[in-house]
Every structure is written in structure tokens, then in C-alpha cells.
Structure 1
Amino acid sequence: MRKTLDRLISWTGLIMAVVLAVAGALLIYASSFVANNVKEQLSQQNITMPAAAALETQDQKDALLQYAGQKMENGAQAKAFADHYILVHMNTQANNKTYSEVSAEYMLAVKDPNADPAQVTALGDLRQSLFMGNTLRGLLLNAYAFGTMGTIALWAGIASFVGAALLLVLSLLGLRHAKTVEDEATGLAKPTEATGDARAVPQTA
């Protein structure tokens, strides 16, 4: 019974090791695919991270100084540029108003016959700038999201390989233990020479 249980558990472990190894390979491939795709798409935009001279606040410097002058190629750069450069300029231009708020003001000004044409034009330009900024931010943050998923897939793949190796070792040890139990049981089942002598009938004179 113990031998059967050891073998059942060991073979189940071997199967799980194969499954984890396959999963690990697929996750590593997915991670590589995502990373290459994000790099390709961002490189095509030909965006250069802002130089140190263009960074005004300490928050911008903390987030962007490490990438100063580099070509944008990964999700981390994309998020830093979107949140600490584009958004900062959008908020400065719009006095921290959102695209929705500026657009509403613009629509009201357009319908107002007494509105100042220069103000209407300025609101229209600001509305357009915020729309373009939000669009670019959305694209860059999508790249960051996919890059993050690729990183998660990479670590999950590594964990799968480690788990597969651990299960493989434990399963092989289990099979070896089952073999040892079988050999011991077989050895006990065979009559020894000493036992045979003990059963010998004494010779009569």
C-alpha cells in the first residue's frame, strides 16, 4: 500500500512538473513578445525623454532625470513621461482643469453671442491641446500597462520553472523511496538460509 501511494504521488508530481515547465516556457515567451512589441511601438514614435534643463519641479526631476535624453523604449519611461511631463504641462495650461471642463466652457462660449471671439478661440485651442495630450497619455499608459503585464509574466515564468524543478526532484525521490520499499519487501518475503536450517529435522541415531 505504501509503495503504491508513493508511486501515485510521485507520478502526479512528475506530471505537474511537466505542466509547470510548459507554463513557464509560455509565460517567458509572452513576456518577451510583450517587451519587444512595446519597444517597437514606442521606438516608432521617436520620442526623446526631456533633458534635465526642461525639468522644473523636484517631482519631475525625481521621475524623469534618470531617463534624460534617452529614446523612449519601455513602459516605465512611457509612464514617467505621461504623468510627470505631459500631464504637468496640461495642468499648467488649463489651470488644473480637465478636458471635459474646458470643453464645456468652450461649448458655452460658442453658443454665447456676446462672448469675446478671442476668448472663444483661446478656449478652442486649449480644448484641442488637452484632447491631444489626453490621447497621447492614454497611448503611453497603455504601453506601460502592457509592459507591466510582461514583467509579471516573466516572474511568473521563472516561478513556474522553479516549481517544476522542485517537483521533479521530489518526484524522483519519491520513486526512489518506492523502489527501496519494494526491494525491502521482496527481501523479507524470501526465506533465508538460516531459516531453512532452523526448520531442518534433527537426524536420529
Structure 2
Amino acid sequence: MKRRTLDILFSIGGLGLAALLLVIGIVLTSNANFANTYVRDQLGAQNITFTPADQLSDDEKNVECLVENAGKELTTGKQAECYANEYIGLHLKNMAGGQTYADLGQPQSQLREQVATAQQTNDPALADLQAQLAEVSAQRDTVFKGETLRGLLLTSYGFSEMGTKAGQAATVMYLGAALLLLLSLAGLVHAFRTPPSRTFAAPSPERADTTA
């Protein structure tokens, strides 16, 4: 096979692959932009603002991301992760001693049974039991809302991370396409500088032995 023909074939193949990587990069960039815009718009619609620096509690002041974002509007995935894990998570832990919505279900059920029994027997402790039930029910309701918001914010964070990864992958595709384009152009230049009569042949066994 002629060397020029081989160079042209490899160069055309390289250009085709570069075009494919470019298209993949454009698609990934589009997905990354969509993810970032969607997360920003959805979080912005919630009108969540971090607590100002002068109003942070002692525990909150020990959290770096809460201090950095103090007073800022929540609009990014990283901010959503911080607010969910460090702000909401901290308050939920302090409110119910670290108990979750499911954990509070058992004491709530027990108190309901005790209140029902006390009502039937006219137990003097009825008022106290009702107060305990009201407190546990309020805690469980608050924890449920907090855990729900926390989950939604972490979902937004995960979606934003997918967009970030897509952007990084797009950069790799662009770099690969640029490298293949340069190599293909170099191959074409080499092809047209190579004499048309020159052929590409593997070295003979005798020459290979001599070289070795």
C-alpha cells in the first residue's frame, strides 16, 4: 500500500473521530448547562437565605460553609448540600436528640395508647400525658418537614453534581477532539509531502535481525 494513501486514510478516520468527540462534547455541555440552570432556578424559587453572620449560633459558627454563605441566597448545588447537612441536619439533631421521623413514631403511638387509657379511667395524669403527646407530635411533624426539605435539597445537589461531571466530561471530549484534529492535519500534511510512489512495507526478516 502506498504511504500517502495510508496517511490519508488514517487522517480521515482521525477527523471523523474528532467530529464525533466534538458532537459528544456539545451534548454533554448542553446537559451540564441545563442541569446548572434548572438547579439555580428551582432553588432560587424557594427564596431560602442563609442566616446572617451576626445571627449564627455558636454551633453554626463552627461550620465553615455556614459562615462562608452567611446572609447569601441559596442558588447552587453546593449551597444546597451545606444547608441540608449542616443547617437543617444540625437543627434536627438538636430538636429531637438525633431521632428521626420513624424513631418518634413509637413513643407517639405509646403516648396515644396511654392517653386513651387515661381517658377511659379518668386518670389524673391525663393532662400531663396529653401535653407529652402534643409535644412529641409537634416534634415528629417538624422533623418530617425538615427531613423532607433536606431530601429535596440533597436531590438538587446530586443533580447539580451530575451537571458538573457532564461539564468535566465535555472538556475531556473537546481536548480529545482537538488532539485528533491536530494529528489528522499533521497526517494530511505528511501525506501530501510524501512522494506518490513511496510504499509502506514491513521490514524484511533479514533487516529486522540486523537491527536487533
TM range (shorter): 0.7 to 0.9
Distance 2:106 2:61 in 1: 30
CA distance in 1, matches of 2:61, 2:181: 49
2:150 is equivalent to residue 148 of structure 1? no
Give the Å deviation of 1:59: 6.9
Verify the 8 A CA contact 1:55 1:61 in the aligned structure 2: no
1:199 corresponds in structure 2 to none
1:66 aligns with 2:60: no
- Shift in alpha-carbon separation, 1:59–1:7, aligned structure 2, 3 A: farther
CA deviations over 1:69-102 (Å, ceiling 9, x no partner):
0111111111101111111111111111121111
Q: Give the stretch that moved more between structures: 121-130 or 170-179.
A: 170-179
DSSP 3-state at the match of 2:50: coil
Deviation (angstroms), 1:13: 1.1
Match of 2:96 among 94, 97, 102: 94
Cross-structure match for 2:23: 22
**Structure 2 portions without partners, runs of 5+:** 119-125, 200-212
**Equivalent runs, 1:1-150 vs 2, <5 Å:** 1=1, 2-52=3-53, 53-57=55-59, 60-112=62-114, 113-114=117-118, 116-150=129-163
Task: Find the counterpart in structure 1 of residue 205 from structure 2.
Answer: none
- State the secondary structure of the residue aligned to 1:185: coil
Decide which structure has the larger Cα Rg and report it: 1
Distance 1:55 1:15, change over 3 A: farther
**Ranges in structure 1 where 5+ consecutive residues have no aligned partner:** 187-205
Q: TM-score, normalised by structure 2?
A: 0.81
1 CA distance for matches of 2:71 and 2:180?
47
Q: CA deviation at 1:46?
A: 0.5
CA distance in 2, matches of 1:179, 1:55: 73
Which structure would you say has the larger RCO, counting Cα contacts within 8 Å and 6 or more residues apart?
A: 2
Q: Counterpart of 1:72 in 2: which secondary structure?
A: coil
> Partners of 1:182 and 1:131 in 2: how far apart?
78
- Paired residue type of 2:10: I
What is the aligned length?
A: 186
Aligned residue identity for 2:152: L
How many angstroms apart in 2 are the aligned matches of 1:185 and 1:132? 77
**Percent sequence identity over aligned pairs:** 37
Q: What residue number does 2:210 align with? A: none
The answer as to whether partners of 1:59 and 1:84 remain within 8 angstroms in 2 is: no
Report the TM-score when normalising by structure 1.
Answer: 0.84
Q: Contact conserved, 2:61 with 2:67, CA < 8 A, in 1?
A: no
Q: CA RMSD in A?
A: 1.9
Superposition deviation, residue 48 in structure 1: 0.5
